[in-house]
A = this chain, B = another copy of it.
C-alpha cells in the first residue's frame, strides 16, 4: 500500500465529509429546506473515495442520481454542492441542476445523472477524448447494481473494449435498485448462487473484480491496478464494490423492503468509517487524535456550507431562459 499519511488523512476526510454532508442533507431535507428528491450515499463512502483517491482533477468521473458522494470523493466544493442542493444561484450548477445533476468540470466531475444507465456511454466518450488527445487521463463510470442491467451499460463496456479505452466501470452493488433486490433483478449468478456482476463484466471482455465496498483499502487497491492498466493503454476494467446504503433509496423512503435486522447490521458492521478507523489505528498509520481533528474540521465545514446556502439568494427568474445554448438566434 503506497498511501502516504497525508493521503490517508485526505481519504478519511473525504469519507467523513460525505457522511456528514449526507446526514446534514437528510436533516435539512426532512425540515423542508431542500426541494426535490435526494438520494444519499452514506454507507458507501469507501467505494467512491477508494476509487477517486487514485485520480487527479484531470481525470474524469461521471455519476448517478446518488451523486453527492462521488462529487465529494472527487473533491468538489461542498459549499458549491450545498448551494446547489438548496437551489441557490451560487450553486455548482447555478441552481438549475439540483441534487441529481451536480457537475464540476474543473474537478473532472462530468455530472450526476438522473437517468439510470445514462452515464456509462458518456464516460466512454471522455475516455475517447483522453485517448485521442493522448493526455493520459482515465474516465470512471459509477453505476449501481440496478444500472448494471441497462443496455447502455453493456454497450458502453463493449465499446470501451473494442476501442481499448482508458475507461473504468465501477458498479456499486448496494443490494437494491429502489426497492428491488439484486438477488432478483440480476439473472446471472456465480458459483455461490449470488448475483455475479463481475462475471458479467468479464464476459464483456475486460478484467473485473469484486471487492468489499466498505473497505477503503480493498477498493483503493483494485482501482490502483485498473488505473495503471488504463493509463498504460491496457484498456478498460470493471470493479464491483459491494456496499450498503445506510438510508433509503431517497430521503423519506420507509424501506419496507429491508428487514430490521439488515438495517441494524449495516450500521453496526458495515460502516466504512468505523472500518477505516479500526484499520489505520490497528496498523498505527494514523492516531485517533488526528482522525478526531478531521471530524471536527469537517463538521465545521458542513455547517458553514449549510449556513452559506441558507443565506444565499435563489436564482433570479431571468435565469430561466439563459444557458440553453452557447448561442442561439
- The residues of A with any CB-CB pair to B shorter than 8 Å are 149-155, 157-162, 184-189, 196, 199-200, 202-206
Please list 29 pairs of residues, one from A and one from B, whose beta carbons are closer than 8 Å in the complex, sorted by A's number: A149-B158, A150-B151, A150-B155, A151-B151, A151-B152, A151-B155, A154-B154, A158-B186, A158-B188, A159-B187, A160-B187, A161-B187, A161-B188, A162-B184, A162-B185, A162-B186, A162-B187, A186-B205, A187-B204, A188-B204, A188-B205, A189-B205, A196-B203, A196-B205, A199-B203, A200-B203, A202-B203, A203-B203, A203-B204
Interface of A is mostly: helix
CA distance A150 to B150 in the complex (A): 11
What residue of chain B has the Cβ atom nearest to residue A151's Cβ?
Answer: B151
| Ranked 4 nearest A-B pairs via Cβ | A151-B151, A203-B203, A161-B187, A188-B205
- Which among B153, B200, B206 is the interface contact of A187 at CB below 8 angstroms? B206
What residue of chain B has the Cβ atom nearest to residue A155's Cβ?
Answer: B151
**Residues B162 and A155 in contact, CB atoms below 8 Å apart:** no
CA distance A287 to B187 in the complex (A): 47
What residue of chain B has the Cβ atom nearest to residue A148's Cβ?
Answer: B158
CA distance A87 to B99 in the complex (A): 54
- A189 proximity list for chain B (CB < 8 A): 205
- A161 proximity list for chain B (CB < 8 A): 187-188
